[in-house]
Structure 1
Amino acid sequence: MTAMQGGEGIRVPDGAEIVGQVGGMPRLWVSLPADEDGFIGMRCPKCGEDFRLHNDDYEGLPESIWCVYCGLSSHKGWFETVQQHDRFLVAVRDFGAQVALRMTNGLSPDGEILFGGRPYRPQPLPPIDEERLVRVRNCGSCRLRYAVFGQHRYCPACGQLPAHIVAADALDAATDRLDDLTRRTGAEAKALREQGVFDQTRTDILIALVSLVETLAKAIDGRPVPRRDRNVFQRLEPMADRFVDAGFADLRQRVNEAIWQRLKVTWQQRHLLVHNDGVVDSSYLENDPTGSAKLGQRLRISDRECRQAIEDTRHLCAAIAALKTP
């Protein structure tokens, strides 16, 4: 706790400092403590979601940064968390109280601000207690270290990420979701299973796999898609044919045959889950002739099947990202 020169008797707690003046008024600086991994919290003022930036990289950032989730571009000072705001508020209120006391009572002979006949002592700044990190990322372009708590599309410094980076992040996030469910045990796991969380999570992941491949393929292809073919990138064989017709390599030759066949089944499962409540039809049986599913049976995706689909999709995304413009 110090009385800063230029602050005329004002004391500030540890973690705050008076740094010069603005418009004749002292300028107050408040520290942002990093978490145990060296990251400081950020909260988007638009979507309200949290992410983190490594403390060592923060000062080197441009004045305007991006929200990693929604892409809002704004001054980095607006990305404050609730805990940071409370910390600022305590410092500012204490500062304001001392200014008011000084205006009312002046300073003591010792140059101190008095309250109730005693030297004023500011209250300590509240600590910042962040939840543990989920996933740490390094931007491939600027090397910025940041942490996310969900699927993201932007680097805080560079802006929109390349499609293949977004796809890789989404696949990692899908695996993390399965890992989180695997860690649930006992009564908690039983309750989640009864609520359908396990089944729904695997279904959501399978549906998301097709969407992320579609986004990546569109970015690599780069050509306008006629309305009649608007879903071409949601279907494996037509997607591969479209790339071949444009002079790209044949994805079917770039992906292991066994993986390609499993992907065809995964894509058909996604179709059933979206359009037929997961009920097996004749088209599905044609794509999975050696499977155990029966006509009219409702699909249930196991943890093993879901993880295999993620890894197969990872191979497909790598093959798509490696396609060279003809």
Structure 2
Amino acid sequence: MSDDFRMTISIPADDDGYVLLKCPNCGTYFKVMPADIEDDGILEIFCPSCGLVGNDYITDDVLELALAMTENKMKDMIYEEFKKMERQFSKGSLTFKAGNPPKHEPENPIRSGIEAMEIVNFLCCKRSAKIKPILKMTGCYCPFCGVKNYEVE
């Protein structure tokens, strides 16, 4: 049995190519381009609402899917080991039955969600993001450099 396993979760982009993020500090949702997240020139992502940097910006849908996938994989690995024990102890005075395969948790697909956002161009970094319209009016922080911007174009 291998100790390592890898799972991949695809996070869908909206029609404009932005992916949904959630600030771990204030809970505000916003969207950025995947290329901006993967860019080595961007060291941290700032929340457009509170301006703080978070450890991760995983949405609840992604977290729930990851937990369900992990639980299902764990159940399968345990069942495989029980099946090996069943074959090992099939003959002799001591027998072992693995039983029925485990029932899997539903792995609900991720939706791009929250469409009531507007594209904002940040002149400081020459990048764009999608934020709530109220943040656009009141001023927001640039998700890429953290500068407070009151004159968002």
| Shared fold (TM-score, shorter chain, > 0.5) | yes
C-alpha distance 130-69 of structure 1, shift in aligned 2 (>3 A): same
Query: Structure 1 residue 85 and structure 2 residue 63: aligned?
Result: yes
Please give the alpha-carbon distance, in whole angstroms, between the structure 2 residues aligned to 1:34 and 1:106: 42
| Runs of 5+ consecutive residues of structure 2 not aligned to the other structure | 88-97
Question: What SS does structure 1 have at the residue aligned with 2:11?
Answer: coil
Q: Does the Cα contact within 8 Å between 2:72 and 2:104 map onto a contact in 1?
A: no
Pairing of 1:1-326 with structure 2 (within 5 A) = 24-60=3-39, 62-75=42-55, 78-106=56-84, 116=100, 123-149=106-132, 150-151=134-135, 152-161=139-148, 165-166=149-150, 168-169=151-152
Shift of 1:125: 4.1
Q: Does the Cα contact within 8 Å between 1:86 and 1:126 map onto a contact in 2?
A: no
Deviations 1:180-219 (A, max 9, x none): xxxxxxxxxxxxxxxxxxxxxxxxxxxxxxxxxxxxxxxx
C-alpha distance 99-144 of structure 1, shift in aligned 2 (>3 A): farther
Larger-gyration structure (1/2): 1
Shift of 1:139: 2.2
- Identity score, percent: 21
Question: What SS does structure 2 have at the residue aligned with 1:73?
Answer: coil
Q: Does the Cα contact within 8 Å between 1:30 and 1:91 map onto a contact in 2?
A: no
Shift of 1:94: 1.6
Shift of 1:34: 1.1
Instruction: Please tell me the residue identity of whatever aligns with 1:64.
Output: E
Question: What SS does structure 2 have at the residue aligned with 1:106?
Answer: helix
Let me know the Cα RMSD of the aligned residues. Answer: 3.2
C-alpha distance 143-63 of structure 1, shift in aligned 2 (>3 A): same
Shift of 1:68: 1.0
Structure with more relative contact order (C-alpha pairs < 8 Å, separation 6 or more): 2
Q: Does the Cα contact within 8 Å between 2:19 and 2:32 map onto a contact in 1?
A: yes
Question: What SS does structure 2 have at the residue aligned with 1:51?
Answer: strand
Please give the alpha-carbon distance, in whole angstroms, between the structure 2 residues aligned to 1:87 and 1:54: 21
Please give the alpha-carbon distance, in whole angstroms, between the structure 2 residues aligned to 1:59 and 1:123: 30
Q: Which deviates more, 35-44 or 132-141?
A: 132-141
